[in-house]
Amino acid sequence: MNSGSEHKQFFFEEQPVGYFEDELPSSPGEYRYLPLRGPGHLRWIEALASSGSQRCYYMIEGKKQYFIVLKAPSHGVVLVHAHTHVRIEE
| Residues 45-74: tens digit of each pLDDT | 999 999 999 999 999 888 999 999 999 888
Q: What is the number of helices (H) and of strands (E) in the chain?
A: 2, 6
| Residues 19-48: tens digit of each pLDDT | 999 889 988 999 999 999 999 999 999 999
Residues found in the chain: 90
Q: Which range of residues forms the domain containing residue 11?
A: 3-85
Q: Residue 90 domain-assigned? A: no
Contact 56, 14 (CB under 8 A): no
Q: Residue 69 domain-assigned? A: yes
pTM, two decimals, is 0.81
pLDDT at 4 over 90: no
Q: What is the tally of structural domains in the chain?
A: 1
